[in-house]
Amino acid sequence: ANSSKTFVYINELCTVLKQHTVKKRPVLSQAEPSASTSGATRSAPGSLKSKTKEEEEKPAAERASTSGVQEVEEESEEAQLKAKRALRKQIAHLENLLKSYNDEISRLQQAELSLDDMETEDSTYIQEHKLKRKMMKIYEKLCELKGCNTLTGRVIEQKIQFNTTRFPEINRKIERFINSPEARSDPPDYHDIRQLKLRSNREVALSRLDDVIKKYAVKQDDTEEQERIRKLEKNGKEIEDQKPEEGKQTSQ
């Protein structure tokens, strides 16, 4: 009896085993992703390490670049500060020179001059003139350093108009000469203006002579053209007068 039931037991065991295998398959399929995730988690620390290394390298490069830019900016700022300090020192030195020259000029102006002192080459008047020239150069340099205008509104700085002669060309030449920087530093005298006027007279005379020659040449061409036209008209009238006389002779 027991031997006859062995096949039944075997069949039941097979069915039970099949049921167990069907139940375990979804578990295995769910376990596979877990294995993949575990692999991903295993590989994740390496990727995280590489990312952290890159992140560490990037800030280092950025820090190096920013530090280089900061160094350049600091050097430029230091150079600007040095230039400003040097400019202030130079301006202060020139201002002190102006003050000392002004004091020396006032001292020379208060000194009394004799006839013998006026004839000497190094008189107080000449010293005063030299100091004033130096002061003007220092003042121009100070205006250049400070970036201001050198004009002070004095009469000598104003433009002089000249319209004495009746020729505008000569007036313009003399006005340009007396307003030039050379004439302002060394004012011209009567001889200089006279020589300039003589040269201008020759130039103006030559230019006006050319104009006169051109005018006469044009006028001569016009007169010659008018004479030629009159001759042609006269010849035409003579030819017309001769034609009726020839007709009368042929009719006779």
What digits encode the pLDDT tens for the residues 90-119? 989 998 988 998 999 898 888 877 777 777
The residue with tokens 């010659």 is 224
Residue 248 domain-assigned? Answer: yes
Domain holding 200, by residue range, is 156-252
Overall number of domains in the chain? 1
The contacts of residue 245 (CB under 8 Å, 6+ apart) are none
Residue 213 domain-assigned? Answer: yes
Residue 223 domain-assigned? Answer: yes
pLDDT of residue 68: 67
* Contact by Cβ (8 Å): 193, 174: yes
The residue with tokens 């202030």 is 88
- What is the rounded distance in angstroms from the CA atom of residue 129 to the CA atom of residue 100? 15
Per-residue model confidence as pLDDT tens digits over 147-183: 887 776 666 667 888 888 888 888 888 888 888 888 8
Residue 22 domain-assigned? Answer: no
This prediction's pTM: 0.40
Neighbour count for residue 230 (Cβ, 10 Å): 10
pLDDT of residue 207: 65
Stretches in the chain below the pLDDT threshold 50: 1, 27-44, 48
pLDDT of residue 40: 44
Residue 170 domain-assigned? Answer: yes
Residue 86 domain-assigned? Answer: no
For 163-193, give one letter per residue: b (16+ CB within 10 A) or e. Answer: eeeeeeebbebbbebbeeeeeeeeebeeeee
Residue 232 domain-assigned? Answer: yes
Round the CA-based radius of gyration of the chain to a whole number and report it.
57
Residue 141 domain-assigned? Answer: no
